[in-house]
Amino acid sequence: MISKEIASSSGKAIYIIPEDSDDLFTLRRIIKTGDIVVSDTTRVIKFEKEYSRPDRERVKIRVSVKVEKIGLDESIDRLRIAGTIMESNNSLVPKGTYHSVIVQIGNNIVVDKGKRWEDLDLKLLRSDVAGSFIIVAIDTKEAGIAKITGTHLEIIPNIYSGQSGKYYTHAAKNNPNIEVFFEEVYHSLHNILHEDGNYRLIVFGPGETKRRFYNFIMDKKSTFKNILTVIDGVDVAGEDGIMVFLRSPSLKEVMGSSKISIVSNILDTIMLQVNRGEEKYVMGFAEVSAAIKMKSVDSLVFSDSIFKDLKEEEIINLLNIAETYGANVYAVDSSTDIGLRVSALGGIIALLRYQIR
């Protein structure tokens, strides 16, 4: 999440850009009834005409809304904020009218709480864990590309070289078409990097193709130079290779400080405790809630599936209490195997500081 404090006549306002689904969860926990949210949005304007039906036109506006209601939309990648318009840059949208603002990944908003900023709010804004990556699983036939932001995975459709038959190193070296293939993969990567230059690039795959691709990028004198890593041990290319990498030990080796690696470690620790018969963990909303009240939770992971069965406000309050008591809270979604595993375990799990049963 990108955040920066800006000047405000009321006390303190913060400019925020959510970069992944986790950030939208965080915003849902930060923004409360009575806060002022400034955002670009659209609104349908009705123009009355004599002797005819009124015309409708959707116009772009910038409004300042006093929050009366906030919630995750049907899609977890959308946050809906509704309230009364306090200020508007369009005279056709008057103050005092009701309006809903949709916040999505990449949108920018300003949250103004005046003097009502709590320590937890500021902690949540600062608690971004490093972890934005582009991963490439490549061989002579195909390349799979994916973006990992926080714990969210976005896979780009495979790129194919058009080559067929078994893989032979000498054939790859003598095939001039491989340069055309590399150029196409590089172009896709360059487009992603142009969107956000803070990604770290990880390349893997069978044979020596990954190193040839590495040299190809280095010869381009591209902006990938200082953020490129080539790893061994994952010998599958394409989308399948990406999924293998996310389950491999290599994930923790090269992405140790990322959210997805931290959550993977929590899950592995819980599974190890299950096998050993240890009980320094809890699963499911009821057990996790009881552990939080006892201030015993060290780390908590929840998935988007939990919102299907429980009231959103109840979950948000629980997460905020857990964070207040010193727990580390992580959100995951169903885009990765990790998110699916958390959903299968009741949608919410926690590692404990000490055994409570």
pLDDT digits (tens, 9 = 90+) for 198-208: 678 889 999 89
The pLDDT confidence band at residue 8, using thresholds 50, 70 and 90, is confident
In this prediction, residue 52 has a pLDDT band, given cuts at 50, 70 and 90, of: low
Tell me which residue has tokens 């300003």. 110
pLDDT score for 73: 75
Q: Which two tokens stand for residue 236?
A: 């599958």
Residue 115: burial class (beta carbons within 10 Å; 0-12, 13-18, 19+): exposed
User: What is the C-alpha separation between 250 and 256, in angstroms, rounded?
Assistant: 9
Quick one: CA dihedral 247, 250, 252, 258, positive or negative?
negative
Q: 52 or 305: whose pLDDT is higher?
A: 305
pLDDT digits (tens, 9 = 90+) for 14-36: 999 887 777 888 898 899 999 99
CB neighbours of residue 323 within 10 Å = 19
Instruction: Report the distance separating Cα 1 and Cα 126, nearest Å.
Output: 9
Residue bearing the bigger pLDDT, 170 or 182 = 182
Tokens of 75: 């899609």
What's the pLDDT at 138?
A: 93
Nearest-angstrom CA–CA distance, 211 and 216: 8
Other CB atoms within a 10 A radius of the CB of residue 25 amount to 27
Backbone angles phi, psi at 201, to 5 degrees: -95, 130
What are the tens digits of pLDDT across the range 110-146? 999 888 888 888 888 876 655 678 899 999 999 999 9
Report yes or no: 316 and 28 within 8 Å, Cβ to Cβ.
yes
pLDDT in tens, 320-330: 999 999 999 98
Q: What is the pLDDT of residue 225?
A: 54
**What residues does each domain of the chain span?**
2-126, 132-254, 259-352
Please name which of 238, 172, 244 lies closest in space to residue 209, comparing C-alpha atoms: 172
Of residues 255 and 228, the one with the higher pLDDT is 255
Q: What is the pLDDT of residue 167?
A: 46
Burial of 331 (0-12, 13-18, 19+ CB in 10 A): buried
Backbone angles phi, psi at 282, to 5 degrees: -140, 155
Residue range 259-352 forms a domain whose CATH class is alpha beta
So what's the architecture of 2-126 in CATH? Roll (2.30)
Q: Cα angle vertex 26, ends 109, 292, to 5°?
A: 155
350 neighbors 295 (Cβ within 8 angstroms): no
Mean pLDDT over the full length of the chain: 83
Whole-angstrom distance, CA of residue 261 vs CA of residue 249: 10
CA–CA separation, 3 and 117 (whole Å): 14
CATH architecture, domain defined by 132-254:
2-Layer Sandwich (3.30)
Is the per-residue pLDDT at 158 higher than 70?
A: yes
Q: What is the pLDDT of residues 99-109, one digit of tens each?
A: 889 998 888 99
Torsion sign, CA atoms 114, 118, 123, 125 = negative
Span 299-340, pLDDT tens digits: 999 988 888 878 888 999 999 999 999 999 988 887 788 888
For 166-184, b/e burial (b = at least 16 CB within 10 A) is: eeeeeebeeeeebeebbee
Q: Is the pLDDT of residue 290 over 90?
A: yes
Percent of residues, the chain, with pLDDT higher than 70: 87
DSSP code string of 45-93: EEEP-TTSPPEEEEEEEEEEEEEEEEEE-SSTTEEEEEEEEEEES-TTS
Same fold for the pair 2-126 and 259-352: no
3-state SS, residue 157: strand
